[in-house]
Amino acid sequence: MNIQLIGHSYKYAVEQIMLSVFPDERPLYTDTAISDNYVRSSLVIENGEAVCYTDIIYMGRAGSAAQVLPDPLPANRLLRDRILQKTIKLSFYSAAMHIVEKPPPWGALTGIRPAKLSTGYIENTSADLDDAALYLQQEYFVDPARSKLCADASGAALRVKNMLKPRDVSMYIAIPFCPTRCAYCSFVSQATDKSMKLIDPYLDALFYEIEETGRILKDLQMRVVSLYIGGGTPTTLTALQLGRLFEKTAHCIDLSRLSEFSVEAGRPDTIDPQKLETCKVFGVNRISINPQSMDNNVLAAIGRRHTGEDIINSYFLARETGFNVINMDLIAGLPLDTFDGFKMSLDKVISLSPENITVHTLSVKRGSRLNESRVPVPGGEEVGQMLDTALFKLRANKWNPYYLYRQKFTAGGYENTGWSKAGTDCLYNICIMEELHSIISLGAGGVTKLVNQASGRIERIFNKKYPMEYIEDIKNITAKKKDIAVFEKENN
């Protein structure tokens, strides 16, 4: 869709709402005044008052709208920008409603973390969860089911926020290796059949980062309350390598307040009794075993080397090893999948009764094989039916939503939602998604996020993305972790 901005430069705001309302479109900027698919976003500000006009032509249909800001613009630049961007999005949404046959499920609400808006509303107004859901419906036209998802996630976030202490942090450790690369994956992961020789030097570099970061955190009296080892697929490592990683972490990091220790076991072709026992011995109390689908044809289409039966066998092996909290992921919208196929996968996972079930919407990322191959995938309407069925069945079977987030390039503009049985919310997922405290990230592709709750200030420290460049630059990468101490000094 060709985009023309007049009187403002809020390009990202227009792109966000465009992708939400027209998820199959991509932004273009050309000199052509009018094209088959076109939007003109104009902002007029006079005497502190703002009006945004939007004109859209899409597939031969036209829509126009004006959004008037009812109050004078504030002097504060950040607040002013936020209000203007909201006005621009609402104007676009109103114009688009003259064109589209069905409103998008998230209305005019954009962004990765929709529940942060309802959480803030509750905190600022003392509203209850029902009030917060109604606010999203009235202010952003979010559909009732999604607004309730947000409100429930806000309830979980506020429960966690009230239990956290000032020096608490979470930690993420990246193991960027997988047996194969899935068709939908754009993460910086290395298939182990091509990169076995990198694993040991990668672990050596990672252990150095763990040691140096541990010193910094101990000097700052920071304590890790949730530890998440992800990837990639961490159980690509051998049981011995996993044991070395766990031992190094326990030796270098203050885990005296650790309440949650998660490991992405992920794929059943990497799970065996020795690895599970190693995890159990070192205190891992939450693991993920991720089907994505229980349909063998779908699994083959996305490059998985296992079957639905393998998933079931790995699940029961984990139960026999003593794991009481297991997460299982499903993805709505995979190649070759159908509504009936997804429902079958969902029913099988529900019958296993894991404590956590995470339902993702397929996001076709630019760097994925799926994007390059142009393999057909289910459309937005069918994906919506899959997710609505999941929502109904999970609620009916006593799972509750505890966190959610959105991504670009999903069919229908839908969401990813984590569901949990009572008392089994994943602390790490809530803390990172709701930005409740700092997340210290180690390993290739890790992004440390430093959060000051009082001021709302957030800073990031980026590690190198690829395993080889991470290994080669580990001294400089680790030196940047000193910025944690600088941030703490400036904000406390």
In a shared domain, residues 283 and 203: yes
455 located within any domain: yes
Q: Are residues 91 and 200 in the same domain?
A: no
- Give pLDDT, residue 492: 75
Tens-digit pLDDT profile for the chain (492 aa)? 999 999 999 999 999 999 999 988 889 987 655 567 899 999 999 887 899 999 999 999 999 999 998 888 998 998 999 999 999 999 999 999 999 999 999 999 999 999 999 999 999 999 999 999 999 999 999 999 999 999 999 999 999 999 999 999 999 999 999 877 665 565 555 555 667 789 999 999 999 999 999 999 999 999 999 999 998 899 999 999 999 999 999 999 999 999 999 999 988 999 999 999 999 999 999 999 999 999 999 999 988 889 999 999 999 999 999 999 999 999 999 999 999 999 999 999 999 999 999 999 998 766 556 656 667 889 999 999 999 999 999 999 999 999 999 998 888 889 999 999 999 999 999 999 999 999 999 999 999 999 998 888 999 999 999 999 999 999 999 999 999 999 999 887
For the chain, give percent helix, strand, coil, nearest 5: 45, 20, 35
Please give the pLDDT value at position 179.
78
Q: What is the pLDDT of residue 144?
A: 97
* Model confidence, pTM: 0.94
Q: State whether 52 and 171 are in the same domain.
A: no
CATH number of 208's domain: 3.30.750.200
Mark which of 64, 81, 101 sits at the end of a domain: 101
Running DSSP on this structure, what letter comes out for residue 164?
-
d(CA 74, CA 10): 17
Residue 118 lies in a domain: no
- CA diameter of the chain: 70
Q: Is the Cα dihedral 285, 291, 294, 300 positive or negative?
A: negative
The answer on 473 and 349 residing in a single domain is yes
Question: Which domain range does residue 283 map to?
Answer: 164-479
Is residue 360 in some structural domain?
A: yes
Q: Which pLDDT belongs to residue 357?
A: 99
Asked if residue 473 and residue 352 are part of one domain, the reply reads yes
Tokens of 10: 């809020």
396 and 296: one domain? yes
Q: What is the pLDDT of residue 199?
A: 95
* Same domain (yes/no): 263, 382: yes
What single letter denotes the amino acid at residue 59?
A: M
In a domain? residue 131 = no
- Residue 6, classed as helix, strand or coil, is strand
What's the gap between Cα 31 and its chain centre?
36
Note the pLDDT of residue 186.
58
pLDDT of 412: 87
Looking at the structure, tell me whether residues 178 and 80 fall in a common domain: no
Quick one: CA torsion of 182, 185, 191, 197, rounded to 10 degrees?
-170
Query: What domain count does the chain have?
Result: 2
337 and 451 inside one domain: yes
Residue type, 50: A
Residue finishing a domain among 101, 130, 148? 101
Whether residue 169 sits in one domain with residue 35:
no
**Of the candidates 101, 133, 151, which is a domain's last residue?**
101
Q: Within a domain: residue 150? A: no
Asked if residue 228 belongs to a domain, the reply is yes
Give the angle 325-246-173 at the CA atoms, nearest 5°: 80
Together in a domain, 190 and 55 = no
Helices (H), 39-109: 77-96
86 within some domain: yes
CATH number, domain with residue 79: 3.30.160
Residue 367 resides in a domain = yes
Residues 170 and 91 placed together within one structural domain of the fold: no
Phi, psi (5° rounding) for residue 435? 55, 50
